[in-house]
Structure 1
Amino acid sequence: MVYMQQPNKKAEQQPALKKAIGVFGGSNILIGIMIGSGIFYIGSIVLQRSGMSMGWALSAWLIGGLVTLLGSLCFAELGAMNPATGGIYVYLSEAFSPVVGYMFNFQSMIIGGPGSIAAIAIALPLAFKSLFPMSNVLVKVIAIALIIIFTLVNYFGVDTGEWVQNFFNVAKILPLILIIVLGLFWGHYTPHLAVLNQHGSGSVVDYIQMIAFAVIATLWAYEGWTNLNTVAGEMKEPQKNLPRALILSVGFTTIVYFLFNLAIYRALPFSQIQHALTHGQLYLGTAVAQSFMGKFGTILVAITMALAMISSLNGMILAFSRYYYAAAKDRLLWKQFAHINRQYQTPDFSLFIQMLISIALVLTRDLDELTSLVVFSGAVFNMLSILAVPVMRHRQPNQLRPYKVWAYPWTVIIAVIAFLVILINNFVDDPLTSVLGLVVPAVGAVVYYGFRRFYQVRE
């Protein structure tokens, strides 16, 4: 059974999703999701995992960006070949089986999308808890309000959601550029960039394990690069604009992460960095801003973090809601999920159901556990999507491909190996969570066959 997203005559009378996203808007959706509050603290984790070697840490950022770029090139070929709303769901359904695509979609609908939305919504007020003391109840109230507000923003049209995304992205990038410029050009310290472990010499295997562990941390920062393909059906000229937006956004994000961390190494002495990390103070970007601008620097970083999280939240709400829509179009969810608002041309029912699930997750106590469950399964489906490139080239050799992966098949091979390292590392580190992360997709397979049987009986 080959996945096909072809509407029937009745569906053709229904309003369609509006094609309003261009290269700039598409790039901003991904940049907004990828560059969140993590830019201020994940660099510290990468440095710690690199044995406090600045050279290895910066190398890890470049390697992580390269791995992400290789994956995005594969997604560019798949998205340009089939620019349908649904992203990974579409590619896995076509390359392997509709049930594989639905397993991914199901975990994204139940935990992946709403869990990420809930987590970022809670993280935003928590980031200001030290400046403005607030109770846990107030934190959750603010988080719920944020989810409702930005769901409404995206309900009033994809172009409205795109405009909001563009505004907050530009607003958050400018302070980041300021910190980068101050650190690089006015910093007084020369970072030691030799790729040597601070603890002395080690074996080649030790270095490989160390850098692999550090790269995994950078991939957390790059997470979200798959989400533009989810709204490919709403892009203008997706065959051209989707690959361009993917390459531009991943390339820009890699440069920002690399320069931001280099600026930290230029602005702060190594002894201060070491002391801060030893005492659990991971927000080195804040220290840089304080060193140059005093209290104003602290306020500037706080504002930038808020803007970063808002743009990330808005991008997630826009992208994740399309999973429900794509499944309903294939009659693997109730038809209401495929409903398009006639006035605003957005999947209104999917947006509001996603909002309700996200709010329910905000109200739970174990959000961290919930969101961590999808890490392992997310890597599995990303790897399968990359493998869909050679599978589709074999199954559909004559299919028009407006864009083809550079350096094929090495691009696919390297990307798959990288994700295998992530899977193995996660499984060894936390086997129970990894196994549980596959339970939801397995339940999705049961739901898939249930819906197929339901519609067969009705027909």
Structure 2
Amino acid sequence: MEEKGLKKELGLFHAVSIVGGIMIGSGIFYVSTFVLQRSGMSPGFAILAWLIAGLMSLMAALCYAELGTSIPKSGGTYTYISEAFSPAAGFAMGLTDFFISQSGSISALAVGFATYFSTIVGLTDTQIKIMAIVMILVLSGINMLGIKEGGNVQGIFMVAKLVPIALIIVLGLVMGDVNNPMTMVPGEGKSVVTAFALSIVAALWAFDGWSSVYIVSEELKNPKKDLPKAVTIGVIGVTLIYILFNLALLKTLPAVDIAANDAPAALAATNLIGKSGGLLVAIGALLAIFGSCNGCILAYPREYYAMARDKRFFSVFAKINPKTGTPINAQIATAVVSSVLILFGTFEQLTALVAFCAWIFYTMGVSSVFVLRKKYPNLPRPYKVIGYPFLPIITIVLSLVVLIATLYEDPKNSVIGVVIPIIGVVIYYLFFKKNETGKSVFDEIDE
């Protein structure tokens, strides 16, 4: 049977590498600029935005740990909200991910990689886009060889990227002598609500990826033990890295220079140790973004595979390569859509849209904890979210505040993020509702 085709070949190190490896990508090198701009040039408020984004991600990840250990099936958020709310909700999310959120993440990372590579050799805009597409195709090819091969690449680049990042943090904190006032009040006349929403959404892009390990939970050797450990280690570790990294930038560069530069880390390293510093950061960025993009390409097609297996997406995506155990058609489709998206929109537009769309469904995913506890009170839960019900409630409230404020302050991207899921619900009832079998994911687990 096709649903038996996925192979359990990922251990704890692979799981942590997926969490941290996807999160630490282009965001750490690019997003500092956006967060500072959106905070109204308030360094203290910008650091607070990074902290809150990390806490939101950790709280959501811990809620997901209960879901993932109870339902160790491919699909992640799609699987949880389909079971908790309705298959239509799951389909709407999957469609949004396929055409915007997840494919957009891959596109943004590939463009980020090519842009940083351009700082070394110099590329035109067209060459940057071509290089980004080639990168997607190469990484897709590697991951089609098998989950273990993709996981090994993820582990290697996770370790490699930490070396230059750690060096920048240490040099910046020790050698930096710039005194940016760590004001905690938004500047440039921005209201607290505006700065809070926009700066946190920008920071959340850099944290996006923690949920990806749940998409591949069916391929973990021991998901019931490894999922909670992986997300806790990964999210806390990445949050500390981001905060220290941004503090190092603020000790090395004036805030106005950070906000005005597309690659502030490279500028900071150049100021600290000369041209070799800029090259070091460029190499670190390339390693980080390459690894992050690989993790996305590894995980995301599994969601579309899970949807197709449930007869809620194109049936061709349910095909498993019998030799490699990978969802080959879903991988090919993901590569194609991601490559097409590179031709549209800027890096900042892609990241803002991706973060907003993702957190609509993360909020629903966290809400699933309450729904599934009520629907299935006797379901074995190897891990129960700490601080229940308060931690999930706080996570949902924070998410709603950010989403509503962003909808008000950035209506263009936000409306797209709302309209696409609504269209998804309509498409589901027109074309996929007829395929429903009434079978629950828990029936599959029992089998």
Alignment TM-score, normalising by the size of structure 1: 0.88
CA apart distance, 1:135: 3.0
Can you list the C-alpha shifts for 1:119-149, whole angstroms capped at 9, x where unaligned?
2222221223344233333223212211111
1:421 to 388, 401, 408: 401
SS at match of 2:326: coil
Range with bigger deviation, 348-357 or 298-307: 348-357
CA apart distance, 1:367: 7.5
CA apart distance, 1:85: 0.2
RMSD, aligned CA: 2.5
Can you list the C-alpha shifts for 1:220-257, whole angstroms capped at 9, x where unaligned?
22122221111111111101101110111100100100
CA apart distance, 1:190: 6.1
Matches within 5 A, 1:242-321: 242-266=227-251, 268=252, 272-277=253-258, 280-321=260-301
Matches within 5 A, 1:82-93: 82-93=71-82
Matches within 5 A, 1:105-144: 105-144=94-133
| Gap runs ≥5 in structure 1 | 1-10
Query: 2:279 is matched by which residue type in structure 1?
Result: I
Can you list the C-alpha shifts for 1:54-95, whole angstroms capped at 9, x where unaligned?
433333322221111111111111101101000011100111
Matches within 5 A, 1:142-221: 142-188=131-177, 192-193=181-182, 195=184, 207=192, 210-221=195-206
**Contact 1:168 1:311 (8 Å CA) reproduced:** yes
Give the aligned partner of residue 5 of structure 1.
Answer: none
Range with bigger deviation, 159-168 or 50-59: 50-59
| Gap runs ≥5 in structure 2 | 438-447
Distance 1:193 1:112, change over 3 A: closer
Give the aligned partner of residue 7 of structure 1.
Answer: none
Alignment TM-score, normalising by the size of structure 2: 0.90
Task: Figure out how many residues of one structure are paired with residues of the other and give that number.
Answer: 436
Can you list the C-alpha shifts for 1:262-315, whole angstroms capped at 9, x where unaligned?
22233x2xxx5144146x125332233113321110100111111111111101
Give the aligned partner of residue 328 of structure 2.
Answer: 348
1:98 to 72, 87, 91: 87
CA distance in 2, matches of 1:197, 1:122: 31
1:336 to 302, 316, 326: 316
Can you list the C-alpha shifts for 1:158-197, whole angstroms capped at 9, x where unaligned?
1110111111111111100011111223334566546466
Give the aligned partner of residue 341 of structure 2.
Answer: 361
Give the aligned partner of residue 433 of structure 2.
Answer: 452
CA apart distance, 1:441: 2.0
**Contact 1:47 1:53 (8 Å CA) reproduced:** yes
**Contact 2:313 2:432 (8 Å CA) reproduced:** yes
**Contact 1:154 1:161 (8 Å CA) reproduced:** yes
**Contact 2:205 2:351 (8 Å CA) reproduced:** no
Distance 1:194 1:418, change over 3 A: same
CA distance in 2, matches of 1:392, 1:455: 20
Range with bigger deviation, 404-413 or 115-124: 115-124
How many percent identity over aligned positions? 39
**Contact 2:200 2:402 (8 Å CA) reproduced:** no
**Contact 2:105 2:354 (8 Å CA) reproduced:** no
**Contact 1:15 1:340 (8 Å CA) reproduced:** no
**Contact 1:15 1:341 (8 Å CA) reproduced:** no
CA apart distance, 1:372: 5.0
